[in-house]
Structure 1
Amino acid sequence: MKIVIAPNAFKNSLPAAAVAAALEEGIRRSGYTGTLVCCPVGDGGDGTGSLLTQYLDAELLFADVADPLGRSVRASFGWVSKTKTAILEMADASGLRLLRPEEYDPLHASTLGCGQLIKAALDQGATELLLCIGGSATVDGGAGALSALGLQLYDRDGTLLSPLPVDLIRLHNIDRSRLDQRLHGITITILCDVKNHLLGEKGAAAVFGPQKGAGVREVLLLETALQQWRRIVLQTTGTDMDRLESSGAAGGMAAGLAAFCKVKIVDGIRYFLQKIGFEQELENTDWVITGEGAIDLQTLEGKAPFGVAAMAKQKGIPVIGIAGKLPDRVSPGLQAYFSWLLSINEQPLALEEAIRQTKSNLVRTGEKIGTALKNKA
């Protein structure tokens, strides 16, 4: 029997590789002696860039950039010299994990550091950028990143503005004459796991603002800032950022870059699986195990477990889905892709306690799965 273990990260708890290792440990504890292949995956969320860097055997390069609040931080990117490809993790420069919870402040948080990381990749000679945009602390529509690359923003009086959302509200004019010319010679592929548009009740401010520290008043101000950003960008470039699918991802980062650069926004998990040759890994596989912190109806909208399960289903391979949280009633949609859905928590736990016990619960769940599959063999 061959089992492929292909989980995503368990958010705020364990990265994908550690989840796979814990499941492997548990399955081996059950006495299973067949083939086990660990293949941790990412869908564009926090940690995807690190995985791609490992799978593509990329060199790790470093740059000093600004964190979301403007403080200096050391960030890295993967470098494949043969293809001149840079693999960037937005969260390394502009991520929520760089801030303490009491510092969350999306009105004053910027993607400037991510733009500086892009510039470092250009300085290295990159002709292709793979940008994973999950886990950001920002809702600035990518204005900060573009300002690091030479875009200049002005108010009605001709005063230079910072690219912060609190100032975008007063945006009147954009000067793109100093935008880094090297951007015209590269392709930026953005790996994304959401389809939200930039504006509205399902937009960047309303959906992602609260996750990054915005209260009701701040959400309204962020929405106003993004509306003005969209209006002036449309006047400047002819591109309506709000019409782009996934334009709200990472607080509008995808939208901003798409308006001024040559960008491909891709389904993160589908692109990731193709890039690492996952389909070939499924040859002669009997079972696939995947999962992440929560599996629910949103999973079917392009999250990592769905991408893995869909590819396995095409080959007639049954899939076990594991998660810290499952819906009380499993929908027919989930049943169509997962042969067995399993919570790693045997009893209800407070979130903090569940996170603390994630590894031990994964090991125990792996042992349970190993025992069940041995009996099926």
Structure 2
Amino acid sequence: MKNNFNILIAPDSFKESLTAIQVCDAIEKGIRNTGKKFNIQKVPMADGGEGTLQSLVDAKNGTIVQCISHDPLMRPIKTKYGVLDGGKTAVIEMAQTSGLELLTIRERNPLCTTTYGTGELIKNALDQGCENIIIGIGGSATNDGGAGMLDALGVQFLNNKGNTIPKGGGGLSELYTINTETLDPRLHSCNISVACDVTNPLLGEKGATRVFGKQKGASDEMLVELENNLHKYSGLLENSFGKKVATIPGSGAAGGLGAGLLALPNCQLRSGFEIVKELVELEQKVDWANLIFTGEGKTDAQTQFGKVPYGIAQIAKKRKIPVVCLSGTHGPDTEILNKEGITAIFSILDGPMNLQEAMRNTPFLLQKTAEQVMRVFLIQNQNAL
């Protein structure tokens, strides 16, 4: 057996079960159980959604910063963000402070919910001296166009009497003027990358309100009010910041938080996978590999739209490197992924079990499946190894 066979393990997290680094560890253990010697490199991955914070902290040997912020209803909560590159880069997940999962179903009301807490995290990162900020904006409970976030960063949202308007998507009905002179000046020298994989604009039938409002608790009547409020807000936002943002693809993400972020001096919306790929230097690691293991909680036709296994497969396909995807479950039409660079897809389930049982046993199931895959691979490639 040669000692120069290189295996890259680069999975996403398994939602509500294992972090990406824990998935890496389980797969590595299964590979080692074959008794053969391989060079293994582990790279926890993410696509900008849930788990991006932890994956990047693990992959880049970063640290977690604990702080106090406010949830979508302005209740104080303990939250966190990551710091990388010796304190130069912060990684923020909007869902940590402004996410839908922070509320009960009865509490969901986009007229009241705010992105203020997300702005507090950005401000805290600036206080720590961060010069670059990465923000994942999936899973919001809000429809305020990012007004709350900007409020926390110093922007003043005033009514026709010069008083501060209420927070939330409903408060925008009173908006008369936006004062940007009080914006935190540190933002002029801070680069912000927003991990955003939706292309919805701020307004219209495909905009923030019409597409995502109901899942955040909006009634039909609320949708009309929220859309009207964002229409007024967008005009004032663009005039105040001197930037056209409402029609940019992705400006409607997270209830319009995309638009609010784009109004800032140095901000761009990017694919979450592309951001993570660059930070962890994934292409160089793929060049090193002879075989790649990736994975995610569920693999289906949606995987091809910016998910981790698809992104890795696209890189590996150009280099003709085999990719094995281990998944908790499979959906329909996964065969399309074989044409896109994923050599083989395996479900880790080894028999009938309920969701709770599967999640409890995920480490063992991953380990077991990885070992059996490698045993087959060894038979097929014994002459090359």
TM-score when scaled to structure 1?
A: 0.87
Structure 1 pair 215/354, CA: closer, same or farther in 2 (3 Å)?
farther
Question: 1:233 and 2:237 equivalent?
Answer: yes
Map 1:131-280 to 2 at 5 A: 131-156=135-160, 158-214=162-218, 218-280=222-284
The letter for the 1-side match of 2:72 is P
Question: 1:113 and 2:117 equivalent?
Answer: yes
Aligned to 1:291, the other structure's residue is in SS state strand
Aligned to 1:36, the other structure's residue is in SS state strand
Structure 1 CA distance, aligned partners of 2:360 and 2:81? 29
What is the CA distance between 1:256 and its match in structure 2?
0.5
Aligned to 1:294, the other structure's residue is in SS state strand
User: Would the aligned equivalents of 1:43 and 1:192 in 2 still touch at CA under 8 Å?
Assistant: no
User: Would the aligned equivalents of 2:301 and 2:332 in 1 still touch at CA under 8 Å?
Assistant: no
More deviation in 304-313 or 223-232? Answer: 223-232
Structure 2 CA distance, aligned partners of 1:349 and 1:172? 57
What is the CA distance between 1:88 and its match in structure 2?
2.5
Structure 2 CA distance, aligned partners of 1:348 and 1:200? 45
What is the CA distance between 1:29 and its match in structure 2?
4.0
Map 1:320-359 to 2 at 5 A: 320-330=324-334, 332=336, 335-345=339-349, 355-359=359-363
Q: Which residue, out of 92, 95, 107, partners 1:91?
A: 95
Structure 1 pair 365/274, CA: closer, same or farther in 2 (3 Å)?
same
What is the CA distance between 1:267 and its match in structure 2?
1.8
What runs of 5+ residues in structure 2 fail to find an aligned partner? none
| RMSD of aligned Cα (Å) | 2.9
More deviation in 71-80 or 206-215? Answer: 206-215
Structure 2 CA distance, aligned partners of 1:211 and 1:5? 35
Structure 1 pair 307/221, CA: closer, same or farther in 2 (3 Å)?
farther
What is the CA distance between 1:164 and its match in structure 2?
0.4
User: Would the aligned equivalents of 1:50 and 1:89 in 2 still touch at CA under 8 Å?
Assistant: no
Report the equivalent of 2:19. Answer: 15
Aligned to 1:282, the other structure's residue is in SS state helix
Q: Which residue, out of 61, 67, 89, partners 1:57?
A: 61
What is the CA distance between 1:161 and its match in structure 2?
1.0
Q: In percent, how many aligned pairs have the same letter? A: 38
What runs of 5+ residues in structure 1 fail to find an aligned partner? none
Structure 2 CA distance, aligned partners of 1:49 and 1:249? 19
Aligned to 1:239, the other structure's residue is in SS state coil
Report the equivalent of 1:305. Answer: 309
The letter for the 2-side match of 1:296 is D
More deviation in 282-291 or 111-120? Answer: 282-291
Structure 2 CA distance, aligned partners of 1:328 and 1:217? 36
Structure 1 pair 51/205, CA: closer, same or farther in 2 (3 Å)?
same
**1:167-201 superposed Cα distances (whole Å, 9 cap, x missing partner):** 22443322222111221122112223333333344
Aligned to 1:260, the other structure's residue is in SS state coil
Structure 2 CA distance, aligned partners of 1:345 and 1:181? 53
TM-score when scaled to structure 2?
A: 0.85
More deviation in 234-243 or 112-121? Answer: 234-243
Structure 2 CA distance, aligned partners of 1:241 and 1:64? 30
User: Would the aligned equivalents of 1:91 and 1:134 in 2 still touch at CA under 8 Å?
Assistant: yes
Structure 1 pair 69/232, CA: closer, same or farther in 2 (3 Å)?
same
Structure 2 CA distance, aligned partners of 1:206 and 1:7? 34
What is the CA distance between 1:146 and its match in structure 2?
0.3
Aligned to 2:324, the other structure's residue is in SS state strand
Structure 1 pair 372/205, CA: closer, same or farther in 2 (3 Å)?
farther
More deviation in 127-136 or 199-208? Answer: 199-208
Structure 1 CA distance, aligned partners of 2:26 and 2:221? 42
The alignment covers a number of residue pairs equal to 377
User: Would the aligned equivalents of 1:32 and 1:374 in 2 still touch at CA under 8 Å?
Assistant: no
User: Would the aligned equivalents of 1:88 and 1:129 in 2 still touch at CA under 8 Å?
Assistant: yes
User: Would the aligned equivalents of 1:23 and 1:366 in 2 still touch at CA under 8 Å?
Assistant: yes
User: Would the aligned equivalents of 1:86 and 1:129 in 2 still touch at CA under 8 Å?
Assistant: yes
Q: Which residue, out of 294, 311, 316, partners 2:298?
A: 294
Report the equivalent of 2:44. Answer: 40
What is the CA distance between 1:50 and its match in structure 2?
2.5
Structure 1 CA distance, aligned partners of 2:35 and 2:85? 43
Structure 1 CA distance, aligned partners of 2:363 and 2:226? 37
The letter for the 2-side match of 1:142 is G
User: Would the aligned equivalents of 1:32 and 1:370 in 2 still touch at CA under 8 Å?
Assistant: no
Structure 1 pair 360/282, CA: closer, same or farther in 2 (3 Å)?
same
What is the CA distance between 1:245 and its match in structure 2?
2.2
Structure 1 CA distance, aligned partners of 2:174 and 2:355? 40
Structure 2 CA distance, aligned partners of 1:29 and 1:210? 49
What is the CA distance between 1:259 and its match in structure 2?
1.3
The letter for the 2-side match of 1:366 is A
Structure 1 pair 359/186, CA: closer, same or farther in 2 (3 Å)?
same
User: Would the aligned equivalents of 2:115 and 2:148 in 1 still touch at CA under 8 Å?
Assistant: yes
